[in-house]
């Protein structure tokens, strides 16, 4: 006779096929998480023009303003209505989730250069586990355990504890697991616990909020041209594309920074990279 009753213990033996077994189901808070509202089209146009005003001369700005208003009353209005309709059909998540996940998770380009500058792993604390074959095997096994834990609903949800003494406790978990999923987020918030990733508590999070370089890839058949604005007054916004025959970027900044000098440095760096790849000396 099979026992299909769910195990609510979070204790897992060393030989388990799961990382752990959370007593709070992985997606327990998902249904009740507040959804991002679709921004009003007119507000988006106003913010866009406000950003362009700092970068363009009067003639360029007037032309941009005309194009933006034509977009707002024409195809932009149709696209916005389609977005609102799609949002109404997918009330289980926010409007931006699907295209954002599709853009990154469906991509099969090399991670380095196309998405992230580098990846690294810390050495295993057990020296004997740093053998290449053994470590690769452990990584694959751990990835499978993580996926099984996630798919089984046993992966513990990330919660940002405003008052850890009150909400980061076993008693809180035992209570919140019985709150209906449609209300669970509000129940957690009432106990000073918010279902958010715990890295928001890390001091590094405060440091990375001042991003001198705000970058993202624009390599997509759906994008012909684009860019990103800086996120801090002394920063640069960099939208870049890596293609088979060429590589390029679009950089913006506030007047306080010299964007032309920055572009010259980028150009020189790319030239050096190509010279190294071709076996030529760097000047």
| Residue given tokens 């697991």 in the structure block | 177
Mean pLDDT of the chain: 80
**pLDDT tens string 149-183:** 999 999 888 777 666 777 677 777 776 676 766 65
6 pLDDT band (50/70/90 cuts)? very low
**pLDDT tens string 105-123:** 777 777 666 665 556 778 8
* Cβ atoms within 10 Å of 223's Cβ, excluding its own: 11
Angle at 120 between CA 119 and CA 124, to 5 degrees: 150
Non-local (6+) Cβ contacts of 249 within 8 A are 238, 239, 240, 241, 263, 266
Report pLDDT for 9.
43
DSSP helix/strand/coil, 260: helix
Bridge partners for 240 per DSSP: 217, 249
| Nearest alpha carbon to residue 115 among 214, 212, 216, 213 | 216
**pLDDT tens string 13-28:** 545 789 889 888 888 8
């Amino acid at each position: 006779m099979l026992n299909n009753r769910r195990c609510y213990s979070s204790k897992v033996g060393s030989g388990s096929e799961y990382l752990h077994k959370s007593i709070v189901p992985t997606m327990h808070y998902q249904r009740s998480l507040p959804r991002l509202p679709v921004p009003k089209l007119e507000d988006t146009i106003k913010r866009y023009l406000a950003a362009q005003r700092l970068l363009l001369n009067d003639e360029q700005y007037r032309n941009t303003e005309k194009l933006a208003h034509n977009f707002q009353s024409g195809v932009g209005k149709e696209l916005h209505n389609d977005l609102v309709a799609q949002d109404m059909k997918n009330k289980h998540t926010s409007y931006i989730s699907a295209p954002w996940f599709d853009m990154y998770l469906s991509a099969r380009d090399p991670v380095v250069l196309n998405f992230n500058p580098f990846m690294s792993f810390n050495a295993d604390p057990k020296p004997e586990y740093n053998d290449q074959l053994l470590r690769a095997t452990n990584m694959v096994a751990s990835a499978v355990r993580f996926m099984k834990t996630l798919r089984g609903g046993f992966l513990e949800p990330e919660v940002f504890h405003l008052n850890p003494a009150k909400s980061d406790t076993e008693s809180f978990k035992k209570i919140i697991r019985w709150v209906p999923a449609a209300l669970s987020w509000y129940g957690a918030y009432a106990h000073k616990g918010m279902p958010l990733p715990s890295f928001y508590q890390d001091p590094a999070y405060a440091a990375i909020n001042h991003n001198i370089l705000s970058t993202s890839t624009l390599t997509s058949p759906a994008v012909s041209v684009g860019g990103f604005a800086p996120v801090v007054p002394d920063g640069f916004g960099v939208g870049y594309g890596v293609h088979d025959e060429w590589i390029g970027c679009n950089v913006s900044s506030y007047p306080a920074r010299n964007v032309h000098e920055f572009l010259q440095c980028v150009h020189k760096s790319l030239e050096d990279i190509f010279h190294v790849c071709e076996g030529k000396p760097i000047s």
